[in-house]
Structure formats: structure tokens, C-alpha cells
Amino acid sequence: MPENDILLEVKNLKMWFPITQGIIFQRHIGDIKAVDGLNFSVRRGETLGLVGESGCGKTTTGRAILQLYRPTEGDVYFEGQNLCKLKGEPLRRMRRKMQMIFQDPYASLNPRMTVGDIVSEPLEVHHILKGKALRERVMDLLEVVGLNRYFVNRYPHEFSGGQRQRIGVARALAVQPDFIVCDEPISALDVSIQAQIINLLEELQAEFHLTYLFIAHDLSVVKHISDRVAVMYLGKIVELPTRAKLYENPLHPYTQALLSAVPIPDPVVEEKRQRIILPGDVPSPANPPKGCNFHPRCPVKIAGTCDVDEPEFIDVGGEHWVACHRVK
Amino acid sequence: MEQLKEIWRTFRHRPMGMVGALMLFSVVFVAILAPWLAPYDPKERIDVEPGDLLAPPDAEHLLGRDDAGKDVLSQLMYGARVSLTVGFVASFMSVFIGTTVGLVAGYFGGRIGNALMRLVDFLLVIPDLPLMLVFITMWGRGLWKIILVIGLLGWTSTARLVRSQVLSIKERQFILRARAIGAGRLRIITRHIFPQVLPLILADAVLSISGAIIAESSLSFLGLGDPMLISWGMMLNFAFERAISRMAWWFLLPPGLAIVWVSVGLIMIGNTLEEIVNPRLKTHHLFDPRHMGALVTGMPPEAEAEVAAQ
């Protein structure tokens, strides 16, 4: 596998949701800048982690990449094709190559469909298999994700959260995609089940050469599964290092604060852990701060620079991208 | 299919629904078997002598005779056919149109949705009966024209109901994931949204049958029914014009009671179905005995139960 085999490239991706006022004549009075200018790429076979706190635009990023939301601006190249320019039938056909695993295994399965119907739907939609072959394949898929093949006639409510998430994984795998957006696939699960699902995802990646965009808010999980990690804050990526660099040498003050919040499973070390507590709250994405998004909460801000200029997203060497005025 | 079975399982144990169903089926039974059950030909004037006109009930004519000497009971039995036909066909039409409009308006929203809903508002504010009168007067009288008018004007409430449901269902996550796997709009609407609204549509359809039967009766009573057919409304019309002044209650009451009978039956079924598919309607929380205490003491029922236990 060549080092630079880029599967997905995101250029200046913006997803703004309009805020309108008025009943008949809807005036456009502003935008929620959920995602505001993202640039990154994902190589074939790797896992890119995407972390950040609630409301920073992680899920929106995943959905905008898959064109479940049409991005306001920017381009998403998948195998060289610009998804933002596709629509209708060609886009529908592209969906076969990119799938999604949802956060909530309860809400994302249609309660009125059997497991068999749920898992076979992508195969039917893309006219891949029919009849007996379809049923066989669905049963095989259930086995691949560690479920009993005779669960096909059951309904989602008969399963536990972890089992449902396996069903979700099975249907994402059904069409043999290249790329899967995992949108917090384990956040709704128990810790013991989380490990099972993570291991399953890793096994499947090795077996089917999958590429993941792994969205999570839990750094320890991301550390486990990712090759590189993008840290998001208020609609922007502030730092994008490799996994090793993230933990050895976090450069952005926000990343440092995030890392300091991860508990260490060793009571002696945990005693000495210094938490960096950020003052204030995340500003509203409808009205982000001028200059660097992070400056109102930043412990090391440079007055006159950080609140005026937006820092550039630069590579400081060895594939370590960061957007901070302190880092040159 | 699974859903319908599930609904039936609950329905079976609801006395109100089952009584309603029996009431409806008694009428359906009579309507289907009218040619065999009816003692006379409803249009036949049997050996009419002056005393037979508006003759009161006796052993030969259980419900007496009308002003032309025809048997009222036989007319009543044949009338059931017209009322039920109009009821079922017109309500199927209106529910079909209403469901389609509701699905489209709810799922697509935007301009199409707004335009459709303004049309619904427009039709809702015009009183139905006068509008039907206008159409029938323009088109002329006839069974199919009546069905068409009732069907074409009655879909608005169904459309509103379906649209409001679709608006909430389409935001649910399994719809998003259906889009993510590449399902087209048609598939999402038919496979994911429609099955969710189906039980509601079913309840609504049953209720709209009684609406259609009453509408047909009203039109016939006002003299706009199909003159070639005997329907309950027509009987009321004749009775009102000719029999009431002579106190011939046996001609006036049976069709009126028949309309009430079948409508009440349908409404009982419809309400039961609505309760099953939308449990929130079951009891108003204020009338729930467990909650009534809360009104007085200001305590939620759980807290109250705890206090009672102590």
C-alpha cells in the first residue's frame, strides 16, 4: 500500500446552518458556523480520529462529508471525485463506497423492520443481491459481526445496545464499502461493550481493508484506534498530529487541556495529574470570536495577536499540523 | 402486516371496539344479503289499495309501508347497500388522496409542502356541505358523482394528520441512515415512513367512513341523492316530505336510526383503533384517578403512592 494513497480529501469544508427570522418573509439574520473551513485528508487503510467536545462540529463534519448535509462551501474529494458536485443518481451510487455507523444504536434502526430487512436494505438499494443469495449474505454478515445467523427474523427491540450496534456495523459492511464514518459508535454503550465493538471494528478493518473516520469525544478510545487524530474546537481543526505525537508532544493549548482531562489508570500517577481547567464556556458558533477561535479561553494567548489574526493551519514537521500563534 | 396483527390482538380485548365491529358487521351482513333477507322487492307496490298507503307496521310488513305502499323494511335493507358503498369507496378515495398529499407535503416540505398545506387550509375553511351541494348541482345527481364529491372534499383532515406525523418521523435517525446507505426518496417514503403512519391512517379511515355515510345521507335528505337508488338519506327525504305530517313514524325513524347505528359502530371502532395506535388519547390525564389527587395536593402520583404506602 503506497504511503500517499489518499482516499478522501477535504478542502475548506464549511457547513453553515442559516438562522432565519419571520414567518412569511424569512429574513436571514446569521449562521451557525458548525463547521468552518476544514482541510484534511485520509489515506486508504488508515483511521483518522476526530475529537472535540460536544457541539464542536464533529458529527456535522461526518455528515457533510457523506453529503447527508450539503456543505455550504468547500470540496470533498473521494477517490478523486468531488462529492459536493454530485447529486441524484451518481451520488446515490457513490454511497455504496462510503457508509456510516451511527452513535445511537436505538434510534438508528427502524423499529418496524427485522434485522434481516435492516442489513439487507443496502444490498437491495444498490441492486447487488437478490432472493436466496441475499439472505445467505445477510446471515454471513451477522456472523462476521459476531451475531447468530438466525437472528435475521428478529426485531431490533429484542437486542441489547451492543448487539444493536453490531447490527449497525453489519449493515454498514453489507455493500463492502471502502470508507466508513464511525460517528461516536461506542458513546452510547457500556464500557465493557465499548471494548468489544472497538475490537470488532479493528478486526474488520484488517480483514476488509477499511478506512475509518472515527468520531469520538473520548481521547483514550481515539488513542487506541487511530493512526492520526484531528482535534476540533468550535468548527475548526486546531491540531492534527499522528497518534504518537498527540500524546508525546501536544502543541495546541486546547489539545493540552483535553489531554490533561484524561484520567490515568494508575493511582500514583493519577495523584500527580495536573488538570488544565479552561475558563468560561465554548462560545456560540453563531458568533465565533475574532482572530483565533480559542483566544477567550486560552491560558497562553498573546494579546494583540491572538484576538486579531486567525492562526494559519501549518505543518510543523513530521505530519504534525497545528493552528496556533504560539507555535512557529 | 405484523403491525396489523398486533393491533388486532389488542383490539380483540376492547369491548367498545368489538361492539362497534359487531354493529358494523350486522349492517354489512344485511347489505350483502339484502336480496335474500328482504321480504319484498323494495320498489314493488304490493296490491296497493287506498288503506295500504302509509300503513302502520303489522305482521306482514314489520315496519309498515311508505306513501306508495312499498315495504319499509325492504327499503331499509337495500338502503344499507348504498350507504355502505358510498361510505367505503368515498373514504378510501379521501384517505388515499389525503395520505399522498400528507406524505409529500411532510417529506418534501419547502414550497411544494407549503402550497399543498395552503390548499388544505383553503378547503378546510369552506363548509363542506354547501360546497358539496354546489358541485352536485353543477354535475347532476348520481351515485358516482356523490362518491366523487365526498371523496374529493374529505381528504383534508387526513392530509394534516399524516403530514404532522411525517414531519416528526422524518427527523428520526433511521431515516438519516436510510439516506446514508443510498436509499432513494421513494423507498424512504414507502418503506420507512409509510409503515409508521399506517396504523394512524387505518384509524382515520374508519372514522372517515362514518363521515362519508353521514355526508351521503345529508345530500340525499336535501334531495340531491341518486333518484334511481334507495338510500337511507332518500328515505328520510321522502318521509320528511310526505310522512311526517301524518305521523308515520315507522317511515321516518328506521332510516334515521340505521344511520345512527352504523355511524356509532364505526366511531366506536375508530376511537378504539386511535386509542391503540396513540395511547396518549386513552385517558385525559386530568381524568385519570391516579392523577386527580395531584390536582388537589399538588403532588405527582408517584409521590402520592409513596405517601399512601407509609
Q: Higher confidence at residue A80 or residue B60? A: A80
| B299 burial type by CB count under 10 A (0-12 exposed, 13-18 middle, 19+ buried) | middle
% of chain A surpassing 70 pLDDT: 98
Mean pLDDT of B216-243: 84
Q: Whole-number mean pLDDT of chain A?
A: 86
Given this model, what pLDDT does residue A161 score? 85
User: Across the interface, do B178 and A175 touch by the CB < 8 Å criterion?
Assistant: no
Nearest-angstrom CA–CA distance, A270 and B285: 52
B43-85: pLDDT as tens digits: 766 666 666 666 777 777 777 777 777 788 888 888 888 889 9
Residue A103 covered by a domain: no
Nearest-angstrom CA–CA distance, A35 and A56: 8
Q: Higher confidence at residue B108 or residue B3? A: B108
Q: Do A223 and A248 share a domain, yes or no?
A: yes
Given this model, what pLDDT does residue A1 score? 41
User: Across the interface, do A112 and B196 touch by the CB < 8 Å criterion?
Assistant: yes
Residue A102 covered by a domain: no
Domain boundary (A126, A141, A176) is at A176
CB atoms within 10 A of CB A94: 17
User: Across the interface, do B182 and A126 touch by the CB < 8 Å criterion?
Assistant: yes
Given this model, what pLDDT does residue B309 score? 61
Given this model, what pLDDT does residue A214 score? 92
Mutate to test the interface with B, among A20, A121, A169 (most CBs of B within 10 A): A121
Q: Do A217 and A257 share a domain, yes or no?
A: yes
Given this model, what pLDDT does residue B295 score? 52
Q: Do A73 and A216 share a domain, yes or no?
A: yes
| B122 burial type by CB count under 10 A (0-12 exposed, 13-18 middle, 19+ buried) | exposed
Give the CATH number of the domain where residue A185 resides: 3.40.50.300
Domain boundary (A119, A141, A176) is at A176
User: Across the interface, do B182 and A125 touch by the CB < 8 Å criterion?
Assistant: yes
User: Across the interface, do A107 and B173 touch by the CB < 8 Å criterion?
Assistant: yes
Class of the CATH domain delimited by B2-277: mainly alpha
Q: Do A205 and A288 share a domain, yes or no?
A: yes
Residue A16 covered by a domain: yes
Q: Higher confidence at residue A242 or residue B301? A: A242
Give the single-character DSSP code of A157: G
Range of the domain at A148: 108-176
Residue A118 in contact with residue A167, Cβ under 8 Å? Answer: yes
Domain boundaries, chain B: 2-277, 286-310
Mean pLDDT of B164-189: 88
Q: Higher confidence at residue B90 or residue A312? A: B90
Q: Do A208 and A169 share a domain, yes or no?
A: no
Q: Do A244 and A317 share a domain, yes or no?
A: yes
- Measured between CB atoms, which of A68, A107, A126 is closest to B180? A68
Given this model, what pLDDT does residue B280 score? 58
- Long-range contacts at B67-70 (CB < 8 A, ≥ 24 apart): B67/B238, B67/B242, B67/B243, B67/B248, B67/B251, B69/B45, B70/B40, B70/B42, B70/B43, B70/B44, B70/B45, B70/B46
Q: Do A133 and A88 share a domain, yes or no?
A: no
Q: Whole-number mean pLDDT of chain B?
A: 82
User: Across the interface, do B184 and A92 touch by the CB < 8 Å criterion?
Assistant: yes
User: Across the interface, do B172 and A107 touch by the CB < 8 Å criterion?
Assistant: yes
Structural domains of chain A, count: 2
Mutate to test the interface with A, among B177, B185, B277 (most CBs of A within 10 A): B177
Which residues of chain A approach chain B closer than 8 Å at the C-beta?
Answer: 63, 66, 68, 92-93, 95-96, 99-100, 102, 104, 107-112, 121-122, 125-126, 168, 171-172, 175
Q: Do A53 and A155 share a domain, yes or no?
A: no
B14-52: pLDDT as tens digits: 888 899 999 999 999 998 988 888 777 777 666 666 666
Mean pLDDT of A300-319: 83
Residue A251's alpha-carbon distances to A127, A218, A258, in angstroms, are: 48, 19, 12
Q: Do A36 and A132 share a domain, yes or no?
A: no
Measured in angstroms, the CA of A68 and the nearest CA of chain B are apart by: 7
A86-127: pLDDT as tens digits: 888 888 888 888 999 988 888 888 888 889 989 999 888 888
User: Is the confidence metric ipTM above 0.85 for this complex?
Assistant: no
User: Across the interface, do A125 and B183 touch by the CB < 8 Å criterion?
Assistant: yes
Q: Do A141 and A205 share a domain, yes or no?
A: no
Residue B162 in contact with residue B200, Cβ under 8 Å? Answer: yes
- Measured between CB atoms, which of A95, A110, A168 is closest to B182? A95
Res. B105 pLDDT band, cuts 50 70 90: very high
User: Across the interface, do A125 and B181 touch by the CB < 8 Å criterion?
Assistant: yes
Res. A2 pLDDT band, cuts 50 70 90: very low
Residue A327 covered by a domain: no
Nearest-angstrom CA–CA distance, B96 and B204: 11
Q: Do A80 and A223 share a domain, yes or no?
A: yes
Mutate to test the interface with A, among B5, B6, B171, B174 (most CBs of A within 10 A): B174
Residue A328 covered by a domain: no
Q: Do A123 and A260 share a domain, yes or no?
A: no
Mutate to test the interface with B, among A110, A120, A187 (most CBs of B within 10 A): A110
Given this model, what pLDDT does residue B293 score? 54
- Nine-digit cell at A143? 456472523
Measured in angstroms, the CA of B119 and the nearest CA of chain A are apart by: 16
Unique residue bearing C-alpha cell 449474505: A137
